[in-house]
Structure 1
């Protein structure tokens, strides 16, 4: 098992990257040998992609009039009080009918028992090394959505629909409220990281489910917290204290969240899109329910996280309450979302 293979060799994780030592020399990487350099490179790539996007936005598309281009720009520049405003779509919805894990089927409970046992610090370090040192597939965002359609999420008690159905439900709900185009795109791709299941995952436990920090005490506000007792880190004095390997208000960007589709897609989008920081936070933290719903781990937050929390909570409403039996005609909506994808992903072929 991967976690056992590396746990005795890990000296100290550098949480701003994945710098991990093995003996006297770093574990080799196909891109760079230093985790910090990897993060700096990621940041530079993101800046370049944002500049590309700005240039693209400033040039009028042959398919759009100048007026249409200006309208798009105006929508994307809505201030926070407008795009983060509460939606009236779900004002009458019974919120207590969602995430009823106490009534969940055995499939869901068994999933979380396995996830909580196997998401260790050692495994998470190895997963990030694997991400940084290999490309699993090259395809367009839409091709990824079509591939993802074969997956049924074992951790979700609220829907039995396909992944592309849920993606369109979320995106269309955001679109109905006239939220910015980047916000709509997040709705479409927020679960695309579940493609991990078809690549090098160990099962569903390192792909889906609620996320949580590893390397510090597991919060009782995580779903089914009692199942963490089988996790090897549960009794490890390095990891079972309030702060563990972190420090007070260090910032969530320095915290390892349990590896899965959120973390995976966050890194892909950060390196290949022009989406704003709010969009990146929505993608990275949308399954971090102990944080954005229960305010757990607030002692690790910095001021930036407080701002991003507003964005994540704004997105969560659409992600959760759009899960109904309604299905959209994929072909009817495809062209609209293809154009939306092209707007924020300068390179059509993405390295997953």
Structure 2
């Protein structure tokens, strides 16, 4: 296991179109048409980069792949670092797919947390959730491919939702599509089994959720749901997978949507005074996720 100082310090360029490219109209602060979309344009290098990233994701994220990644990462033997140290590392991570601003991920973390703090001054757990929600992207510093870290998540082990981005073209080489155990409406699941029992495509959401459980966080269940499902757009934005929902999942979705309005629409060129804010957020980290964590 490496300590934080042993991580390579070269900038890691992460493609994450889930942040501003999937606006939910009721939360948008500007007309939805002003946000980038997923139309294909071979002459646009950024759109092509995004499309290729999703094609790799949708080709390779199979049931076997996800289980292998869980076996690899859920030993929690890659890194020992405090949450603050992991977040500071995000200063070396710039989301190249962001169409509006070119800022390190840690700036987005503080923008999200501070906006939540403004609206929910008494809910310190919610503020901290905003700060740490992308911390699972530290996987990028251990040679994990970009398509296995960022972007929208989806269920593996059953037929793919029609509302997954690039759905009509990007899954053509995914071998699970030819497997009768996985390519039907229910696939390997039972009706109304609950989203907590679904196997999700691997990414920073599920990883951070597992890291927090492993390190015995005292964040409430709502916070853990926000972290685990904030990229699960086919479910929380499009309403898909209702046949797999358990009754309690609608309440979970409300919390995830509450969080996503802050995740999606707080990015700007206005950079918070991070150094001045650290003492406040360090107290929250020490309250809910203290000490050196195993990643």
TM range (shorter): 0.7 to 0.9
Give the count of matched residue pairs. 262
Separation in 2 of the partners of 1:316 and 1:199? Answer: 27
Matched residue, 1:221: 163
Deviation at 1:157, TM superposition (A): 4.8
Once the two structures are superposed, the pairs formed by residues 176-255 of structure 1 within 5 Å of their partners are 176-179=118-121, 180-199=123-142, 201=144, 203-225=145-167, 226-255=169-198
The DSSP-based 3-state class of the residue aligned with 2:200 is coil
Q: 1:314 aligns with which of 241, 252, 258?
A: 258
Bigger mean CA offset, 317-326 vs 131-140: 131-140
Give the secondary structure class of the aligned counterpart of 1:219.
Answer: coil
Q: In 2, Cα distance between the equivalents of 1:266 and 1:245?
A: 23
Whether the 8 Å CA contact 1:105–1:157 is kept in 2: the answer is no
Provide structure 2 residue ranges, at least 5 long, that are not aligned to the other structure. 1-26, 41-45
Cα deviation, 1:302-336, whole Å, max 9, x if unaligned, reads 02211110100000000001122221121111111
- Following superposition, the deviation at residue 148 of structure 1 comes to 2.0
CA distance in 1, matches of 2:90, 2:180: 39
Let me know the Cα RMSD of the aligned residues. 1.9
Residue by residue over 1:243-262, the C-alpha shift from the partner in whole angstroms, topping out at 9 and shown as x without a partner, is 10001100111101001100
- What displacement does 1:161 show? 1.6
Q: Which has the higher contact order (CA 8 A, sep 6+)?
A: 2
What is the aligned counterpart of 2:202 among 259, 267, 276?
A: 259
Distance (Å, rounded) in 2 between the aligned partners of 1:155 and 1:235: 32
| Residue of structure 1 in register with 2:22 after alignment | none
Provide the C-alpha distance between the structure 2 equivalents of 1:337 and 1:261, rounded to a whole number of angstroms.
21
Q: Does structure 1 retain, via aligned residues, the 8 Å contact 2:76–2:294?
A: no
The TM-score, its normalising length taken from structure 1, stands at 0.71
Q: Aligned partners of 1:132 and 1:329: how far apart in 2?
A: 34
Q: 1:40-80: per-residue Cα shift (whole Å, max 9, x none)? A: xxxxxxxxxxxxxxxxxxxxxxxxxxxxxxxxxxxxxxxxx
Does the C-alpha gap of structure 1 residues 158 and 205 become closer, same or farther in structure 2, counting only changes over 3 Å?
farther
- Unmatched 5+ residue regions in structure 1? 1-89
Instruction: Give the secondary structure class of the aligned counterpart of 1:138.
Output: strand
Secondary structure of 1:217's match? coil
